[in-house]
């Protein structure tokens, strides 16, 4: 089916929103449980998006695939995305574990870009889940990418994202290098902040 | 365990909220799907509550049971309640069916007070589901009562509820009788409104 | 300016949403205050909409006006609409009074279709307010129509609305007449329900 | 009036929530306007709180004031607090300006702890506004503290807050010193991130 038409179908959008609302409910409950356990707010902000036609088409092209709904469903795992931003790195892994322990969703793929950052310097923990969506008397499994990040990783990623649309430019290449170098500084903040928190807790 | 203490435990409250948020997500998606299918808003308002200590204790007493957490868990099915109000009676049954078709929750009990109104004249469709709640690495099943009503049933029930606290009074008994007689008028409105909608759709 | 272009401008949409969110905040606070005062939920559901291009254009045409942004701003008062549905008629007037007492908004027009129903049988209380919207360092006053209704008026209106698109049809004309007759029954319910509530309160 | 009783009065809580909801509506609209203007999400997370009895009492004691409602209303400016967290420092000042330009609220006090950090190293922009609250036919002006911070300032503040309850301890004093030194590192991140964003925008 034509990709653009497919993405505009009301029932496709409904299924995506269904998945988002289910995943958000899970994240909120995990946040409530952990916040209660540790006596501090664990997840600081939530966001979500359905990938735009332009981004999906570009991704299919980069992978050398045809631009249609079938290829998208097979090969694009982040059409539906949910993001949670925390303060501390260890909380990210704890949330990931708790998501994986949920029996009604299945982990499809895990990409740990915190331990293995992307070339660009990008760091985040990505989990792709398959989530059951009840729609018109049948259950369909849709993929949802959950991105877990610290605040520090998040604003690094924000800069990187703004840069992406200007990549051809020479100055952009310079900034890109600098940003990459800067990823290390960001990582050190995360470590330092985590270390301080652990020492405070140990008092 | 002492009932009052049990109800105030943070993890009990969290589990209830988890159940509410899961059930709300389901109702919202069902609403989105049906509203899309029929081109009209199907669920008009949502509400939810965790039953108060006083109401639970009163219910246990009425049933001749001891006032503790174990008896509550076994015998009080509406500790957690979710309500959806619609315009048309047939939508209530459609929502009920769609909830029952969800594979991740189990219907525990169904009480059709629309076809078989209570003595008082009370009408509503009650479904008690068992819902899985992931908490501290284990899955617990909790009961949630879903009440489905039309707007007409809802304001009848509102009057009846206000009357409950004054039952000993003689004037209250008179109003009670009148209210019961009025339940029939309410029922006729629901039938008439449904009939008109069907005739409009058939044009 | 061309009407369609105007309605799609991001800053027009932002201003409308600003107005909606301000009016919603007011309604919610009034609801909280009244619900506390009377010990019962006063507003049962909220909704809002920005009128579609098609509806605005049709309204301008009916009024014999040119289809552009200037005429719309001058002559269409319900481009932005907010609705609150209550159980009891007297609550509607109380909310209206409390809105009118707010010093930061101005009442522009009041249409009491409860005391003076439309020919069709339509009943609701309409208040058009001018609301200050701070945008790009200046304050603009936009109009917002607040519709206050009981649940009974609301589903009558729902049927009437569904009928509107089929008006040419002969059967539709019959249903229209029946619906109009039915408006009286609806009115009697509202009176009866209000009377019962007052008697319960007086106990 | 007794402070504890005063804080538990339903109408006090309602007035506070009224203020919070009004201020949140303003921040959300400012966010919408700026996000549209700059093509990036400006405010990343919102939170709010009504100060607890314990914190208010402690503050009154520190100031050598009597513990009652009158002294609180006169001398405690942050009983109601709203916080917005952004990525970039310049956005904080822009939001502050836009809040100050709103004609229906009045700036009562401004404390720029970004340019003049507290001794502890704490940085944030604090604005105390007086906000009109319509309640029971009269308008009361209540104070609301708006805290504007970057994400980096926010997690520094989070650590500092966790430390506060353990201040007597010797290890806590050491961590305190380290945290203060660390405030500079945090400041440099904010500057660097802002510089990179400006260079990217200038391409």
pLDDT digits 0-9 by tens, B99-153:
999 888 999 999 999 999 999 999 999 999 999 988 777 888 999 999 999 999 9
Say how far apart CA D182 and CA D42 lie, in whole Å: 25
What's the Cα-to-Cα distance from D101 to each of A183, C106, C137, rounded to whole Å? 38, 20, 7
B173 to chain A, closest Cα gap in Å:
45
Say how far apart CA C17 and CA D33 lie, in whole Å: 11
pLDDT per position as a tens digit, D22-68: 999 999 999 999 999 998 999 999 999 999 999 999 999 999 999 99
Task: Give chain C positions within 8 Å (CB) of D103.
Answer: 132, 134, 139
Q: Which residue of D has its CA nearest to A171?
A: D203
Q: Do B193 and C159 touch (CB under 8 A)?
A: yes
Give yes or no for residue A166 having a pLDDT over 90.
no
Across the beta sheet with A125-135, the strand order is A43-50, A80-86, A138-150, A125-135, A106-112
Supply the pLDDT for residue A169: 82
Residue D90: pLDDT band (50, 70, 90) is: very high
Say how far apart CA C193 and CA A13 lie, in whole Å: 41
Q: Could you say which of C14, C25, C137 has the minimum Cβ distance to residue D32?
A: C14
Contact between B86 and B43 (Cβ < 8 Å): yes
What's the Cα-to-Cα distance from A186 to each of A117, A155, A156, D200, rounded to whole Å? 12, 9, 8, 18
- Taking CB atoms within 8 Å and a gap of at least 24, the contacts of D10-16 are D10/C36, D11/C33, D11/C36, D11/D135, D11/D136, D13/D50, D14/C29, D14/C32, D14/C33, D14/C36, D14/D135, D15/D133, D15/D135, D15/D140, D15/D142, D16/D50, D16/D79, D16/D80, D16/D142
H/E element holding D4? helix D3-8
Q: Could you say which of B21, B29, B134 has the minimum Cβ distance to residue A102?
A: B134
Say how far apart CA C25 and CA C46 lie, in whole Å: 11
Q: Are strands C80-86 and B125-135 parallel, antiparallel or unpaired?
A: unpaired
Per-residue pLDDT of chain C (203 residues; tens, 9 = 90+): 899 999 999 889 999 999 999 999 999 999 999 999 998 989 999 999 999 999 999 999 999 999 999 999 999 999 999 999 999 999 999 999 999 998 889 999 999 999 999 999 999 999 999 999 887 778 889 999 999 999 999 989 988 888 887 777 888 888 988 999 888 888 988 999 999 999 999 98
How would DSSP label each residue in D79-114? Answer: SEEEEEEES-HHHHHHHHHHHHT-TTSEEEEEEETT
C-alpha angle A33-A39-A41 in degrees, rounded to nearest 5: 70
Q: Which residue of D has its CA nearest to C31?
A: D14
Task: From D197, D185, D187, select the one nearest D150 (Cα to Cα).
Answer: D187
Q: Could you say which of A10, A14, A29 has the minimum Cβ distance to residue B21?
A: A29
**DSSP code of residue A180:** H
Task: Give chain A positions within 8 Å (CB) of B11.
Answer: 33, 36
Residues in chain B: 203
Q: What phi and psi values does residue D105 have, to the nearest 5 degrees?
A: -125, 155
ipTM: 0.84
Q: How many CA atoms lie within 13 A of D10 on its CB side?
A: 10
Say how far apart CA B18 and CA B32 lie, in whole Å: 21
Contact between C163 and B129 (Cβ < 8 Å): no
How would DSSP label each residue in C28-61? Answer: HHHHHHHHHHHTS--EEEEEEEEPPHHHHHHHHH
How buried is A8 (Cβ within 10 angstroms: 0-12 exposed, 13-18 middle, 19+ buried)?
Answer: exposed
Query: For residues A81 and A189, which has the higher predicted lDDT (pLDDT)?
Result: A81
The number of helix segments (H) and strand segments (E) in chain D equals 7, 5
| Average of per-residue pLDDT across D109-131 | 96
Say how far apart CA B126 and CA C144 lie, in whole Å: 39
Supply the pLDDT for residue D142: 95
Q: What phi and psi values does residue C88 have, to the nearest 5 degrees?
A: -115, 140
Task: From B52, B31, B144, select the one nearest B95 (Cα to Cα).
Answer: B31
Residue A58: pLDDT band (50, 70, 90) is: very high
Contact between D180 and D186 (Cβ < 8 Å): no
Q: Does D179 contact chain A (CB < 8 Å)? A: yes
The residues near B87 (Cβ < 8 Å, ≥ 6 apart) are: B42, B44, B150, B151, B193, C155, C158
C55 to chain D, closest Cα gap in Å:
26
Q: Does A137 contact chain B (CB < 8 Å)? A: yes
Query: For residues B27 and B164, which has the higher predicted lDDT (pLDDT)?
Result: B27
Task: Give chain B positions within 8 Å (CB) of C169.
Answer: 203
Q: Are strands A138-150 and B43-50 parallel, antiparallel or unpaired?
A: unpaired
Burial D86-120 (b: 16+ CB within 10 A, else e): bbbbebbebbbebbeebeebeeeeeeebbeebeeb
H/E element holding C69? helix C69-75
Instruction: Kindly report the average pLDDT of chain D as a whole number.
Output: 92
Residue given tokens 């089929």 in the structure block? C166
Say how far apart CA D165 and CA D163 lie, in whole Å: 6
Q: Which of B182-186, C49-53, C193-197, D122-126 has the lowest mean pLDDT?
A: B182-186
The residues near A99 (Cβ < 8 Å, ≥ 6 apart) are: A26, A27, A30, A105, A107, A127, A129, A146
pLDDT per position as a tens digit, A11-54: 899 999 999 999 999 999 999 999 999 989 999 999 999 999 99
What is the number of other CB atoms lying within 10 angstroms of the CB of residue B5?
Answer: 10
Task: Give Cα D73 distance to the centre of its chain.
Answer: 18
Q: Is the dihedral of CA D57, D63, D66, D68 positive or negative?
A: negative
Q: Is the dihedral of CA D21, D22, D26, D32 positive or negative?
A: positive
Contact between D112 and D125 (Cβ < 8 Å): yes
Give yes or no for residue B61 having a pLDDT over 80.
yes
Say how far apart CA B68 and CA B80 lie, in whole Å: 17
What is the number of other CB atoms lying within 10 angstroms of the CB of residue C182?
Answer: 19
H/E element holding B70? helix B69-75
Say how far apart CA B147 and CA B55 lie, in whole Å: 17
Task: From B44, B62, B61, B20, select the one nearest B149 (Cα to Cα).
Answer: B44
Residue given tokens 């319509």 in the structure block? D134
């Amino acid at each position: 089916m034509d990709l653009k038409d497919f993405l505009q179908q009301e029932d496709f959008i409904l299924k995506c929103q269904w998945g988002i609302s289910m995943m958000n409910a899970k994240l909120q409950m995990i946040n409530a449980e952990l916040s209660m356990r540790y006596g501090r707010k664990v997840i600081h902000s939530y966001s979500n998006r359905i990938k735009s036609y332009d981004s999906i088409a570009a991704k299919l092209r980069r992978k050398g695939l045809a631009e249609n709904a079938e290829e998208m469903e097979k090969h694009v795992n982040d059409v539906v995305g949910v993001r949670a931003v925390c303060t501390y790195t260890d909380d990210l892994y704890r949330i990931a574990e708790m998501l994986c322990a949920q029996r009604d969703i299945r982990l499809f793929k895990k990409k740990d870009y915190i331990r293995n950052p992307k070339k660009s310097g990008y760091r985040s923990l990505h989990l792709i889940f398959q989530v059951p969506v009840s729609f018109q008397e049948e259950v369909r499994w849709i993929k949802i990418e959950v991105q877990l990040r610290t605040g520090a990783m998040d604003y690094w990623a924000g800069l990187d994202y703004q840069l992406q649309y200007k990549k051809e430019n020479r100055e952009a290449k310079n900034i890109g290098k600098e940003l990459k170098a800067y990823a290390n500084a960001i990582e050190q903040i995360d470590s330092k902040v985590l270390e301080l928190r652990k020492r405070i807790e140990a008092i």
